[in-house]
Chains A and B, each alone.
Chain A
């Protein structure tokens, strides 16, 4: 394996581009829901922007991801086009899935987003299968399974890590440990101090990383991706982060420790990284401001596209059950 080289300015700015795109979209999603313009169950990823952004700069469109209901950041980082993403969350026929999936089931194979599941833990067994196809065909693709800390307590996690290890599958298990499994704080439901310790049981590398540190996260991501691409098997990455919002939009998050939350929010990774990029001369204030303004314009266009799009025809109830339309 090559010694880790810190990313170039170009890559660092690309990580930030994805981070701020996630943050800006998330803020707009919540605003639009609050204004009553769109109705959906929304699971904010605010605070977790670094993880998929640093992962995704190590991936190509040919690489696969499987993500979960709190996955809009993973989708945006992987490159799902905003108009189709927004329209899907709006239940419009112009959405990625014709409005038939919704926020918990966004799929966009063109950007490698193969499955978004609403079932805790279920991204992992399917990511194994994508990796298995790659392995059998001798391709160089890798598959990433995103999941949360709560999902490391469900059987699918253990079955998947064991199988991936036995078969040396090119898969990366990325646990976004945000400290809360729905409403339950980490320590109440998880036996180990660090989820990465569980990798030991499956004879694979387990890495605990500060998931809010773009460079540390990028290093972990790149090493795991290279390892998978080189045929050396899976890695478990535990990326520690924090969920700035409640479990689901509208959740008053009374179960969260106010001081803990305030401390994490004070270290919001998006403005911190922005300032660091400027201070370290990787980017200028003007460059990033222009990027953010461009994102706002893209989001304006996506919202407008969504609100002016049609809902799917009720005939869609008979389509995509099977290949052939089901007869009414």
Chain B
């Protein structure tokens, strides 16, 4: 295998994972709008080079037909293929919700285990690009609320690589959320061929005063906040969930049992979100040990706005995260 560069971004990391998976297993196929090289290998080039290497039978640009894309992936997966379907933007999953929720997530159960749906649905999202109300939502809570589908949200290139390998190898459907505005951020390269297990969170910083729990792009802001607060003598432990569902409750509870405080941070809107689920699990297990209420930091409860000052205010950043941490320490 070729030598990896010192730095790698998430586009390259996901591309490399797909490449390695396709090289290892002829059943891995890629479907989605514009994914083949004749269409420039994806809107931001995540799948660039794959169709030239593996052919347009295995790497197929599709019509703009989200139901048909997911349906074709489901059917092919039931008879042994390993489709990686790209739904270009997370908001476009709404067009395919019947296929994802009623079929991909449920066919194993409804068939009594006779069939299974080992598909990966890659999708990108995230505010910061001025794409407005229908191109940047974080909708992971909807999917996490459905039994039978895993929800994966890496925060950095190396995790994106290792988690993608796991998703492709997994025997059940996985929704793989990529953050668009941070696609080009460089990170350390992954260990080639090594999968990162699903359902296991990563403690990316150890600390003693408060546990910060996040996933996807917001981990970067959470880490920056933790580093800034360290200068004030506040010791933050940071958990990068990696997988939203199944949630690694054990890692969360172990940490919060130690710190007595927790702040959950996500880019999705705050009401009825993943933060509420995590807060509840903490309360159910650790209510009497908590030193402060669990804090939730999420986006304003409004559609993603276009105008730059509004978009900046919509997304929770270092200021909001720091305020929430300091409130738990009062």
Q: Which residues of A contact B (CB under 8 A)?
A: 64, 66, 95-101, 105, 107-109, 114-115, 117-119, 122, 124-136, 143, 155-156, 159-160, 162-163, 166-167, 319-323, 326
Contacts and interface: CB of A to CB of B under 8 A. Distances in A.
Contacts of A166: 63
B84 to A, nearest CB: 13
Contacts of B57: 135-136
A143 B74 CA distance: 14
Interface residues of B, number: 43
A99 B112 contact: yes
Contact of A322 (B29, B76, B148): B148
A96 B60 CA distance: 35
A128 B68 contact: yes
B112 A125 contact: no
24 contacts: A64-B79, A107-B107, A107-B115, A114-B79, A115-B75, A115-B107, A119-B98, A119-B103, A122-B71, A122-B103, A125-B67, A125-B72, A129-B72, A129-B73, A129-B76, A130-B75, A132-B76, A132-B81, A156-B71, A163-B62, A163-B65, A163-B72, A323-B108, A323-B172
Given A107-B115, A320-B112, A323-B116, A130 B78 contact: yes
Contacts of A66: 75
Contacts of A122: 71, 98-99, 102-103
Contact of B75 (A101, A119, A125, A321): A125
B147 interface: yes
Q: Which 6 A-B pairs have the closest CB atoms?
A: A129-B75, A125-B71, A97-B112, A98-B112, A107-B111, A159-B68
B70 A98 contact: no
Contact of A100 (B71, B102, B110): B110
Nearest to B113: A320
Nearest to B65: A159
A223 B147 CA distance: 42
A125 B99 contact: yes
A95 B115 contact: no
A117 B148 contact: no
Given A126-B75, A129-B71, A163 B63 contact: yes
B47 interface: no
A110 to B, nearest CB: 9
B254 interface: no
A134 B72 CA distance: 12
B223 to A, nearest CB: 31
A322 B71 contact: no
A101 B112 contact: yes
A130 B57 CA distance: 15
B123 interface: no
B216 interface: no
B12 interface: no
Contacts of A159: 63, 65-68, 71
